[in-house]
Chains A and B, each alone.
Chain A
Amino acid sequence: MAIITMREALRQALDEEMARDPTVILMGEEVGQYDGAYKVSKGLLDKYGPDRVIDTPITELGFTGLAVGAAMGGLRPIVEWMTIQFGLLAIDQLINNAAKMRYMSGGQFKVPMVVRGPNGPAEYLSSQHSQSFASYFVHVPGFIVLAPSTPYDAKGLLKSSIRDDNCVIFLESEMSYGLKGEVPEEEYLIPFGSADVKRAGTDVSIISFSKPVLQCLAAAEELAKQGISAEVVDLRSLRPLDEATIYASVRKTNRAVVVDEAWPNCGVANYVSSLIVRNCFDDLDAPVEEVTGMDVPMPYNHTLELMVQPSVEKIIAAAKRALYID
């Protein structure tokens, strides 16, 4: 199996789906001539031309709303937001139009589009460019929300997203574009709503998504050295959510740690832990632990910015709390 980077995996998905379906277009800031701010779309302009790989002005509301209309009109637009942070300017178009058009019209329209871009904290970016907005989208009926952690998952899920007839919010991670992983040569798709047990274990379930999954795996490795068998569940798909896999894991381990790099209030971690408490109450041997970002804007200073985010150490400590080991 080939070992490629996350950005290559994403590019393969875009390339294969654009080759497969001429109604698939890619638009966003710097996706064409510049080859993408993070080089995900490198080479696609040369291959598919300016009618299909479209450089936009810096006008997120405008081109995101335009993509909604283009999707209603029979295209399959992929919108790249240079970062999900800029997407706040366009969130009305997504929530009020993309997510609701089908419902408000009594099922007469579909909006097959993908909005993708880096979400979550990066490095040295201070408060406006370094935050996770996953919960903003998970909150809204009408969206599919995905947040892969590996090149394999990213490619399979992005291909499924482009073929889907709904508005898919595809959350990438700036820090993970260079992450390498195995990706098969042959075509594959990953269905929505399927979590992946990235590491099997018996003592505690560590549940996360996107970039922090790597920290969870590192924590599990360290815990193993201390004789603790941790299971790592990668949600991959936040809406729909694979509740069955979460509950099966917790019912096996009887302890859960949920990890989310977003702020602690009203986030995905709260949501998942509340589901666990409600559905696995009799199976739990300890309160569900949450490891999240701190409830502060992101500081610029590197030491401080690392302190406010989840870390391997924080995850290990949470797992031990759940196991009453100290």
Chain B
Amino acid sequence: MRPIKGYKKDFLSEMLREMLLIRRFEEKAGQMYGLRKIGGFCHLYNGQEAVSTGAAAAMVKGVDVLLTGYRDHGHAISMGITPNAIMAELYGKLTGCSKGKGGSMHLFSAEKKMWGGNGIVGGQIPVATGSAFAQKYLKTNGATLCFFGDGAIHQGAFHESLNLAALWKLPVLYLCENNQYGMGTSLDRASSVKDLYIKGQAYGIPSKQISGMDVIEVYEEVKEALEAIKKEYFPRFLEVKTYRYRGHSMSDPAKYRTKEETEAYMAQDPIILLKDRMIQEKMLTEDEFQDMDKEVKEIVAQSVEFAENSPEPDHSEITTDILA
């Protein structure tokens, strides 16, 4: 675990608060799904909060672009889309961040440079590579963060993209959130190799394996990678080892893994890990943490209220936004 000395209290508190907000948001989303307020596919991010939080903290807001797969609620929060707009989107309401047309898997904000969740495994990887191509061509000084899971790494889209990014020297960070299960299939049943970062090396891309349970490690590694990418105009690849506490989606009871395994990961929960270090360094008290928890729970509760009270899209919305 990385030391937190040297970081300002506000910075750490904000990361802790963001992870907590994602956790509570996801718990609420799961609950509202159970109440059938939310339908369809809904993939929760519980356990992986440190990855989007640490990575987004290292990005230049409004300049760097982020794309990810369908497990995108955490990334949307980390990129600054409000819980209200996300919950309303899960409800399919007009006030949702995609006007109720995208749903859980397609959270977008052009303004925040959140280019969405993508519902096709690995489908966002070439698009992210193209975003980096445009950033380089237009000299925006920006880079693109491309998130995907370990399940996506076997898709041709991944391999073709990494080859192009290295060949054309594009400012893109490929970030594989290895939560070790592609739906119900464990990595050892899906991958010919144990360590995924070597797949980045295969394309001549500097690649590294890091922990996704320590938000500081994610932040530092992504920051360093982004700086190198922008300086050298060359991609980087990070394999971030993480774990999802919930099933693949709401319909998955996750019977393919043991209780012990899940508990072992929960023992290194990213929120607890940062909280304990902050308490140890006297940057936080238990009471302050409880207050923080109360505050984010209130924000999440308000997002539900906002979604509930938001209007349904007008029927005329069916035929808008198809062509520009």
* Interface residues in chain A, defined as those with a beta carbon under 8 Å from any beta carbon in chain B: 23, 25, 51, 54, 56-57, 59, 61-75, 77, 89, 92-93, 96-97, 101-112, 141-142, 144, 165-166
Shortest CB-to-CB span from A99 to chain B, Å, is 9
User: In the complex the two chains form, what is the Cα distance from A74 to B115 in whole Å?
Assistant: 13
* Cβ contact within 8 Å between A104 and B126: no
Q: List 24 A-B contacts (CB under 8 A).
A: A56-B164, A57-B164, A59-B160, A62-B126, A64-B126, A68-B127, A69-B130, A72-B130, A73-B135, A75-B134, A75-B137, A75-B138, A89-B156, A92-B120, A96-B123, A101-B116, A102-B324, A103-B321, A106-B101, A107-B99, A107-B320, A108-B108, A110-B324, A142-B322
Q: Which residues of A contact B222 (CB under 8 A)?
A: none
- Chain B interface size band reads 35 or more
Across the interface, which residues of B come within 8 angstroms of A144, CB to CB? 323
Instruction: Known A65-B126, A66-B126, A106-B99; judge A165-B324 contact (CB<8 A).
Output: yes
* Chain A residues positioned under 8 Å from B83 (CB to CB): none
| Given A59-B160, A97-B127, 11 further pairs, Cβ under 8 A | A57-B164, A62-B160, A63-B126, A66-B126, A68-B130, A71-B130, A71-B134, A92-B123, A97-B118, A106-B100, A165-B323
For B110, the closest partner residue in chain A by CB is A108
Task: Determine the distance from Cα of A103 to Cα of B102 in the docked complex, in whole angstroms.
Answer: 8
Chain B neighbourhood of A165, CB < 8 A: 323-324
User: Which residues of chain A are within 8 angstroms of B168 by Cβ–Cβ distance?
Assistant: 54
Q: Chain B nearest CB: distance from A95 CB in Å?
A: 10
Contacts of B248 in A (CB 8 A): none
Chain B residues whose CB sits within 8 angstroms of the CB of A142 once the complex forms: 322-323
Option from A70, A101, A108 in Cβ contact (under 8 Å) with B137: A70
Interface code B109-120, partner A: CB below 8 Å = 1, 0 otherwise? 110000110111
Instruction: Please list the residues of chain B having a beta carbon within 8 angstroms of any beta carbon in chain A.
Output: 65, 67, 96-102, 106, 108-110, 115-116, 118-120, 123, 125-135, 137-138, 144, 156-157, 160-161, 163-164, 167-168, 320-324
Alpha-carbon distance between A56 and B168 when the two chains are bound, in angstroms: 10
- Which residues of the partner chain A approach B144 to less than 8 Å between Cβ atoms? 69
Contact indicator B130/A73 (Cβ below 8 Å)? yes
Using known A-B contacts A25-B137, A65-B161, A69-B131, determine if residue A102 contacts B126 with beta carbons closer than 8 Å. no
Judge whether A66 and B109 touch: CB under 8 Å: no
Among A54, A59, A89, A102, the residue within 8 A (CB) of B323 is A102
Complex Cα–Cα for A56 and B60 (A)? 30
A141 to B128, CA, bound (A): 23
A69 touching B320 in the complex, CB below 8 Å, given contacts A59-B163, A104-B101: no
Let me know if A65 and B99 touch, CB within 8 A. Answer: no
The residue among B100, B108, B144 with the most chain A CB atoms within 10 A of its own CB is B108
Q: Which residues of B contact A110 (CB under 8 A)?
A: 324
Residues on B with beta carbons closer than 8 Å to the beta carbon of A70: 130-131, 133-134, 137
Q: Give the complex CA separation of A59 and B159 in angstroms.
A: 10
Given A57-B164, A62-B126, A106-B108, answer yes or no on A72-B115 (Cβ-Cβ < 8 Å).
yes
Cβ-defined contact, B127 with A62, below 8 A: no
Q: Within the assembled complex, what's the spacing in Å between the Cα atoms of A101 and B128?
A: 13
Tell me whether A73 and B133 are in contact (CB under 8 A). yes
Shortest C-beta distance, B143 to chain A (Å), equals 12
Given contacts A57-B163, A62-B160, A96-B123, A104 and B106 within 8 Å (CB-CB): yes
A273 and B156 CA atoms in complex are apart in Å by 39
B110 touches A105 (CB 8 A): yes
Evaluate contact between A102 and B138: CB separation under 8 angstroms.
no
Residue from A25, A69, A101 having most chain B Cβ neighbours under 10 A = A69
Contact of B126 among A25, A93, A166 (CB under 8 A): A93
